Amino acid sequence: MLLPFICLLFLLCCNSLAPLVTSLNAEGYVLLTFKHSITDPQGSMSNWNSSDDNPCSWNGITCKDQTVMSISIPNRKLYGSLPSTLGSLPQLRHVNFRNNKLFGNLPLQLFQAQGLQSLVLYGNSFSGSVPNEIHKLRYLQTLDLSQNFLNGSLPAEIVQCKRLKTLVLSRNNFTGTLPDGFGANLVSLEKLDLSFNQFNGSIPSDMGNLSRLQGTVDLSHNHFSGSIPASLGNLPEKVYIDLTYNSLTGPVPQSGALMNRGPTAFIGNPGLCGPPLKNPCGSDTAAASSPSSFPFLPHDNPPQDAGNGSRISEKNKGLSKGAVAGIVVGDLIGICLLGLLFSYFYSRVCGCNQNQEESGVKRERKRRKECLCFTMDESEVALSDHVEQDDLVPLDNQVDFDLDELLKASAFVLGKSGIGIMYRVVLEDGVALAVRRLGEGGSQRFKEFQTEVEAIGKLRHPNIVTLRAYYWSVDEKLLIYDYIPNGSLATAIHGKAGLVAFIPISWSYRLKIMKGTAKGLAYLHEFSPKKYVHGDLKPSNILLGHNMTAHISDFGLGRLADIAGGSPTLQSNRVAAEKLHERQNSLSTEVATNMLGNGYQAPEALKMVKPSQKWDVYSYGVILLEMITGRLPVVQVGISEMDLVQWIQFCIEDKKPLSDVLDPYLAEEEADKEEEVIAVLKIAMACVNSSPEKRPSMRHVLDALDRLSISSD
C-alpha cells in the first residue's frame, strides 16, 4: 500500500510544479527560437524570458487578445539568420527588422503567415531569391526588401498580391524581366522603387494602369531596354518617373506624366532622343542606341574629328591673356587695400611691445594678453607664445605628456584658416602631434565646450583622426590630435603650390582612400554613440597616413570653433590677416576652392539649417568625382564656371568618351581598370543625386565598394 501512495504523491507534485516550469505559451517559444538564433549586442531582447506566461510584454512585440500581431526590432545590430518558425505565428500581421545585420535566405515558412500585411527587411544582408510562395500573402500591403543582396528574378506570383501598396526592392541584385500582368494586377500600388538592380527587358506597357502611384516611380540604374511605353504618360501628372541609367531607346513620349520633364529624368540612356534631350531623333539614333553599362564608354562613340577635338582643347585652355591681366591687376589692388586695412588694425589693436625680451620657449608672458601679434611668415614658432600655463585635459590613457612638455616642444605652422592655426608639434621623445589653436574668447561657455570635445574624444576608428587632449583658458583653446604624416587628399590629387615635383596617386591608392573614407563616415553615421554628421567633408580634411590610409579630420570642428570664438575686434583682425595671407598664396588648391565656392555642399544645404547624413553622402560623392576626374569641384568651361556634378551630367548627356572625363594621370597607367572606374563613377552619381532620399547610406556605399574589390581580386 505504501508504494502506490508514494507514486500518487509524486504525480501530484509534478502536476503542481508544471505551471512553474513550462508557463510560457507556444508563441513565446517560437519567438525564443528567434532570440537564440541571433546575436543581440544591444540587449534588445533582454526581457524575453521563458518564465513569462506570454510574450506580449516583451520588447518589440505587440499583441491583441494575448496573440502576437507584430514583431518590430529595427536598428539594433541584430546579427544572424531568421528562423523558419516565425511563419507559424497564426495572427502575425507585421514584421520589421530594418537596418540590422541579418543574413541568409528568406525562410520559406515566413510566407506561410497568410495574414501578413507588412514585411520590412531593408538594410540587412539577406541573399538568395524571393520565394514563389509570396503569392500566399494575399493581404500583403508593404514589402520593403531594399538594400540587401537578393538576386534572381522577381517571382511571377507577386502579381497575386493585389493589395500591395508599397513595393521597394532597390539596391539589390535582382535580374530578369518584370512579371506579366505587373501593372494590370498591382493596381493598388502607391509607391514603387526598383532602382539599382539589374532588371532587364522592356518596361511593361500596362504600368500605365498604376493610377494610385505617388511621389517618384524609380526604375533608374537597371538594364531596361526598348522604348519608353507611351502608356506611362497615363500615370498621375504629379508622379516623377525616374528612368535614368538604363538602355532605353527611341523618342521620349510627350504625353501626360512624361510631358514637361527635364532631361535629368532620362540621362544615362544614350539611345533616347527628342525633347527634352539634346539628342534629336534622326538617322543616327540607332547607331547611338547600343546598350551600355555606362553612357560614355570609349567604344560607345566613334573618335571625334580633329577639328572638334581642337575646339574642345581650346575651350579647356582657360582664360585669355587680357582676362588674366585684368585678374592680376585686380588682385594687386585687392592685396594693397587689404594690406593697408591690416596695417591700420594692427597699429590700433596690436600695440605690442617690440622691446620685450625673448628667451626662446621659456619666455615669460602676461597672464592675460591684451592683443594677438601675428608672425605669419614664420616657418617655426614656439607654441608657448600662445598659451597659458593651465591644465591639459587628456581624453584617453595613452596621453603620456603634460602641458609643460607640449609648450617646450618645437611647433611648425601647418596652415591657417578662419577657424584657427594648425601646428605640427614634435615632443622631446620624437612623438609628433597636431595642435589646433581655436580662439581667444568664449570664456563663458566652458561647460558647453567640455561636453562637445569630450564626446568627440570618445570616437575611436582607424579612419578618423583621434582627438587625444584639449586645453582651455580664457585666452586660448587648443585641440591636440594624432599627427597624420602624408598631407591631405587635396594635395595628393592636385599637388601643392611651390612644389615642382608632383607624383599623382595611382588608381589602387585612390580606391583604398575611397574605401577608408567610406568606412570612417559609415562609423560616424551608424556605429558611433550619437550617429554623428560631419557636415564639412572635403579633400582638405581627409588626411593620408602611412601607406595612404585615409583619416577623416575636423569632425565637430565648426561647432567647437563657434563655442571658442574670439572677440569681434580680434576676430576681424585675424580674418583680415588671413585673407591677405591667402591672397599671397592664391595658387594653393585649397584657397582656389574656397574662392570658387563650396562645391562639396549638398543642394538642400541652402534651404536647411541642420546638417543631415545625406549632406555627407553628397560631399563624399563629389570627392569620388574629384578623384576620378582630377578636377576641382568647380570646373572652368571656357569663360564660365560650373560645379563638377553639373559638368559630369553634361558629359553624360553629350555622350563624351570616358577618356574625356578621366584624370589624365590615370588614363594611360590604369587603362585596365576601366570597369572599376565606371563602377565607382556609378556610385558617385548615386551619392550626388539631387534628391536626398535617393542617395544611398554610407554603409551601402561601403558594401558596394567592398563588392567591387572582391570582384576585381
What are the DSSP calls for 123-178, one per residue? Answer: SSEEEE---GGGGG-TT--EEE--SSEEEEEPPGGGGG-TT--EEE--SSEEEEPP
- Rounded-to-10 torsion of CA 146, 620, 537, 608: -60
Shared domain check, 246 and 99: yes
Residues 221 and 345 in one domain: no
3 state DSSP class of 534:
coil
Confidence (pLDDT) at 330: 54
Dist CA 503 CA 44 (whole Å): 51
Report the 10 Å Cβ neighbour count for 676: 18
Rounded to whole angstroms, the Cα distance separating 160 from 90 reads: 21
Residue 313 placed within a domain: no
**Domain contains 602:** yes
Q: Write the single-letter amino acid at 272.
A: L
Query: According to the model, what pLDDT value does residue 3 have?
Result: 42
Are 247 and 388 in a shared domain?
no
Q: Catalytic pick from 144, 218, 536, 703?
A: 536
Q: Are 264 and 242 in contact (CB under 8 A)?
A: no
Per-residue burial over 213-233, b if 16 or more Cβ lie within 10 Å, else e, is beebbbbbbbbbbebbbebbb
State how beta strands 392-394 and 166-168 pair: unpaired
Q: Assess whether 546 and 486 both reside in one domain.
A: yes
Q: Are strands 467-472 and 477-482 parallel, antiparallel or unpaired?
A: antiparallel
Domain-located, residue 41 = no
CA-closest candidate to residue 392, choices 468, 471, 449, 467: 471
Closest by CA to 394, choosing from 475, 483, 478, is 478
Residue 657 domain-assigned?
A: yes
Task: Let me know whether 392 and 269 are in one domain.
Answer: no
- The two beta strands, 216-218 and 191-193, are parallel
Rounded to an integer, what distance in angstroms lies between the CA atom of residue 293 and that of residue 308?
26
Domain edge (last residue) among 232, 259, 283: 283
Tell which of 226, 250, 283 closes a domain. Answer: 283
What pLDDT was estimated at residue 279? 83
CATH number at residue 696: 1.10.510.10
Residue 356: the pLDDT is: 38
Domain count, the chain: 2
Structural domain contains residue 302:
no
Question: Given 3-state DSSP classes, what are the helix, strand and coil percentages for the chain, each rounded to the nearest 5?
Answer: 40, 20, 45
Q: Are 538 and 711 in contact (CB under 8 A)?
A: no
* Average pLDDT of adjacent 10-residue blocks, the chain of 713 residues: 41 40 81 92 92 92 93 92 89 93 92 92 93 93 94 94 95 94 94 94 93 90 94 88 92 84 81 86 48 35 36 39 48 50 43 37 34 36 48 80 80 77 86 82 70 86 91 82 92 75 84 95 87 90 92 86 54 36 37 50 80 93 94 81 88 83 77 83 92 90 80 47
3-state SS string for 669-698: CCHHHHHHHHHHHHHHHHHCCCCHHHCCCH
Strand partners, 410: 382, 426
CA 49 vs CA 26, 58, 272: distances in Å: 13, 8, 60
Helix H, strand E, coil C: the string for 602-666 is CHHHHCCCCCCHHHHHHHHHHHHHHHHHCCCCEEEECCEEEEHHHHHHHHHHCCCCHHHHCCHHH
Cα–Cα distance for residue pair 540/613, rounded to 1 Å: 19
Domain identity same for 237 and 381: no
Question: Does any domain span residue 291?
Answer: no
Determine the residue type at 448: E
Asked if 385 is an active-site residue, the reply is no
Dist. CA 97–CA 664, nearest whole Å: 46
DSSP state letter for 63? E
- pLDDT for 5 equals 39
The values of phi and psi at residue 511, to 5°, are: -65, -40
CA distance 200 to 486: 46
Q: State whether 159 and 265 are in the same domain.
A: yes
d(CA 639, CA 105): 56
pLDDT at 348: 41
Alpha carbon distance 691, 508 (integer Å): 31
Q: Is 337 found in the same domain as 205?
A: no
Cell of 647: 559638368
Distance, CA of 227 to chain centre: 34
Q: How would you class 37 by CB atoms within 10 Å of its CB: exposed for 0-12, middle for 13-18, buried for 19 or more? A: middle
What is the extent of the structural domain holding 207? 62-283
* Contact predicate 644/599, CB 8 Å: yes
The grid cell for 301 is: 562613340
Eight-state DSSP code of residue 303: P
Q: At 506, is the secondary structure helix, strand, or coil?
A: coil
Q: Cβ(555)–Cβ(524) under 8 Å?
A: yes
Q: Residue 200: what pLDDT?
A: 95
Give which of 226, 212, 262 is closest to 242, Cα–Cα. 262
Give the amino acid at 556: G
Same domain, 156 and 265: yes
Q: Are residues 275 and 337 in the same domain?
A: no
CB 252 within 8 A of CB 277: yes
CA dist 55 and 46 (Å) reads 12
User: Grid coordinates in use for 244?
Assistant: 535614368
3-class secondary structure, 389: coil
In a domain, 503, yes or no: yes
Phi, psi of 482 (to 5 degrees): -65, 145
Q: In this predicted structure, what is the pLDDT of residue 441? A: 55
**pLDDT at position 299:** 31
**Same structural domain for residues 210 and 343?**
no
Report the C-alpha gap between 32 and 386 in whole angstroms: 62
Do 218 and 334 belong to one domain?
no
User: For residue 420, what are the contacts with CB-CB under 8 A and spacing of at least 6?
Assistant: 436, 437, 438, 439, 561
State the chain's maximal CA–CA distance in angstroms: 123
What CATH number corresponds to the domain at position 124? 3.80.10.10
Sign of CA dihedral 519, 525, 527, 528: positive
Helix, strand, or coil (residue 499): coil
Is position 316 within any domain? no
User: Amino acid letter at 266?
Assistant: F
In which element (H, E) is residue 593 found? helix 589-596
> 179, 195, 173, 34: which is closest to 107 by C-alpha?
34
Q: Could you report how far apart the first and last alpha carbons of the chain are, in Å?
A: 81
